[in-house]
Amino acid sequence: MDRNIRTVDDVLRLLDGLFAPGADRWTAGAGSWWDSFYADRSKPVPFFVDKPDENLVSYLDRGLITPGRALDLGCGPGRNALHLASLGFGVDAVDLSPAATAWAEDRAREAEAEVRFLCGDAFTLVGTELRGPYDLIYDSGCFHHLPPHRRISYLALLDQCLAPGGHLALTCFAAGGMGSELADSDFYRQSSLHGGLAYTPKSLRRIFSDLTEVELRRMRDEPPESPCFGEPFLWTALFRRNAQP
């Protein structure tokens, strides 16, 4: 008979275990799932292109964010991390998949860019490999693959790592466009995240209510010849942490 629940972390790990390995993209086997996803670099996956997100480019062009220290969560093949580095940011980038980080490192060598790529779970790396404060935390497609209870871990990461006055910028599945619209509780009954969670502007504003909204809109659709990546089934959101007095 086990009685192992004592802390919030114990509860989070218990809830992690409700998801069957291979049933979603978050459990202990998620790194292997993403490795198989990234194994063929020639696959016609839209975000395999070596282009930064259009919203990130827009934030920078308009001066909404300026160079500093940046953390790229779920960096994949590194396209946004490399763009930030090219503009003078000091960049840490993390992903669960060894295949993804290896591809990102190859791209960095080709571009002669300095980015510190880390392979692992960002939540467990906080305080060791990932040390704030970061002026920008950028997330292109990581947040919507988290189970509902791990929003607690995500907000804790922001609390520990995001600098006062710093920005969180993310893209995530938009309800009505892509992603599952099941209620949070239903994911636990089915042991799966169904490929990712869809969000509404209302839900994003509630989750990140401790931050100040700068912009929340649909990502623009970018044609193939564009220097930027864009897909209209995603929300793009920019939030700012209030500067401490």
The 10 Å CB-count burial string (b at 16+, else e) for 160-178 is ebbbeebbbbbbbbbbeeb
Four-point Cα dihedral 74, 197, 10, 20, nearest 10: -100
Q: Residue 2: what pLDDT?
A: 79
DSSP 3-state assignment of 105?
Answer: helix
DSSP 3-state assignment of 64?
Answer: coil
Q: What is the pLDDT along the chain (245 residues), one digit of tens a residue?
A: 778 899 999 999 899 988 876 677 877 678 888 999 999 999 999 999 999 999 999 999 999 999 999 999 999 999 999 999 999 999 999 999 999 999 999 999 999 999 999 999 999 999 999 998 999 999 999 999 999 999 999 999 999 999 999 999 999 999 999 999 999 999 998 888 999 999 999 999 999 999 999 999 999 999 999 999 999 999 999 999 998 75
Q: Residue 27: what pLDDT?
A: 73
Q: Residue 164: what pLDDT?
A: 97
Answer left, alpha or beta for residue 218, where phi above 0 means left and psi between -120 and 50 means alpha. beta
Q: Which residue has the tokens 């939540």?
A: 123
Cβ contacts of 182 within 8 Å, gap of 6 or more: 190, 194
Q: What is the DSSP string of 126-154?
A: BTTTB---EEEEEEESSGGGS-GGGHHHH
Q: Residue 245: what pLDDT?
A: 52
Q: Is 2 exposed, middle or buried (0-12, 13-18, 19+ CB in 10 A)?
A: exposed
The residue type of 193 is L
Asked if residue 229 lies in contact with residue 51, where contact means CB atoms within 8 angstroms, the answer is: yes
Q: Residue 185: what pLDDT?
A: 94
Helix axes 98-111, 79-86, angle to 10 degrees: 30
**pTM above threshold 0.75:** yes
